[in-house]
Each structure stands twice: as C-alpha cells, then as structure tokens.
Amino acid sequence: MAKETYAARCTANVLITPRVHEARLELVDPPQFSFKAGQFITVPVAEGVLRSYSIASAPEDPRWLKVAVDVQPGGPGSRFFAALQPGQDLKFQGPYGAFVVRDDAHPHLVFVGTGTGIAPLRSMIHDLGQRGQGHRRMTLFFGVRFADDLMYHDEFLALAAKHPDTFTYIPSLSRPEGSDWPGDIGRVTTVIPRLLPPDVAAAATAYLCGSKEMLKEVTEILVGLGMDRKHVKKEQFW
C-alpha cells in the first residue's frame, strides 16, 4: 500500500559541516507525521526523481522533523537541498524502514555510523533518552575523514559528559589534519577491534549505518568479537 504524501515547509536549512545541510521541515498538510526513530522518508527532488533520507531528529514532536543531506555528490538530491530556502514548500512520503531499536534488543546497544549515516543513529539515541530508556548502555562509534565532517560532535560530547555511565562516544578520523586532534585515528574498522571488549560485543545489539563496504566489514568484526550475527542491524546509506 502506498504511503501517504505529506506537504511540509522548510523553516531552516543550515550547513552543519562544510558539506552537509540540515533541513528542518514543518508539517503543513496533514499537520502531523508519526515515525519511529531510525526510519526514513522519500522526497521528490526533481521531475520523476525520488531520493531517500533518514530522519535525523527524534519523534518527540509530530509537527516537524529534520534531515541531514550531504550535498557534495552534486546529484539531483544534493542540488535540491543545497538550494532549499526557508519558506519553501516540498512534499515527502513515509515513513519507511525497519531500522529501529526493538524493545527486545539487548540492554547494551552499539551504534556505528560513518558520514551522514549518523543521522538515524542520532534519532535513535535521543529517542531512547526521551522515552526513559536512557538507562541502556550505549556506545557510539562515529567515523569520518576530517574533523570538520563530524556532524553533531559537540552534542555527542555533551551527552557523554552528562551521562558518563550510560553513553560512550568514540569519534575517529581516517585523515586527521595537523596534530591537534585528541581522539582516535583510523577507520571504524580499526577502532572497533581495539576499543570494543569481546564481552561487551557478545552481550550487545548493534545498529550500523553507512556504506555497503563498511556494513560488511564491521559486521564481520562484531561477529568475530562474539556478537550474534542476528543482533547486527544494518542500514545502507549510499
């Protein structure tokens, strides 16, 4: 069955990294949109062209949502969101996807995101806290090339500082510039084996979002650390 089409209005569209636009969309018709953290929408970005975008915000208020779009590829979706102005109307359909945290997931959750694949993970993490699930142990691995690609970096640092017993944030850069980066260096595929203890992996559920290659490699790493393969949930982002 086809999903309902929603009309929305852009109320903000800002660069949150040199290449990523974050657009806030206010619902117009119908005036509310319900979704689960981790799901995505499809947007007609050109005549006959649809693109899918994970929702970066938690479903706390059905009157609005946010998407984060990498505009560097330069395709129809990139051009649409790079040009999107506050006050401009657009349509979308959804929600789609089963990449959500199930109630029967393990108490310890491991999140692994690269690039804009962090968007649905951010939605999940905030939603868990808002629903009173903040007692779950959450570990977030976030890998990008350069420091200025770290979307929501200060937000995750603040969350880790506020909840040190339940939230661990491990950002890593594969191409650090200069010598002032204080965090981990390398792709998530090199960081995870060093910093995720096998006993934790064996008793956790993982949520991965990123490229096909990353999903495949990280899945095998987690299984090698003792995680049950069926407890590795994946969403391919490009």
- Whether 101 maps to a domain, the answer reads no
Instruction: Enumerate residue ranges in the chain where pLDDT < 70.
Output: 1-2, 134, 179, 238
Containing structural domain, residue 18: 5-96
Which tens digit of pLDDT belongs to each residue from 155-208? 999 999 999 999 999 999 999 877 688 899 999 999 999 999 999 999 999 999
Distance CA 176, CA 137 (A): 29
Structure tokens at 118: 């962090």
Question: Which residue type, as a one-letter code, is found at position 85?
Answer: Q
Tell me the C-alpha to C-alpha distance, in Å, between residue 77 and each of 68, 70, 94, 97, 160: 11, 9, 17, 19, 33
Distance CA 121, CA 125 (A): 6
158 Cβ contact partners less than 8 Å away, ≥ 6 residues apart: none
Distance CA 165, CA 135 (A): 9
SS3 215: helix
- Whether 63 maps to a domain, the answer reads yes
Task: Tell me, yes or no, whether 180 and 228 share the same domain.
Answer: yes
CATH number at 188 reads 3.40.50.80
Task: Tell me, yes or no, whether 118 and 211 share the same domain.
Answer: yes
Distance CA 16, CA 6 (A): 25
CATH number at 35 reads 2.40.30.10
| Among candidate residues 70, 96, 122, the one where a domain is terminated | 96
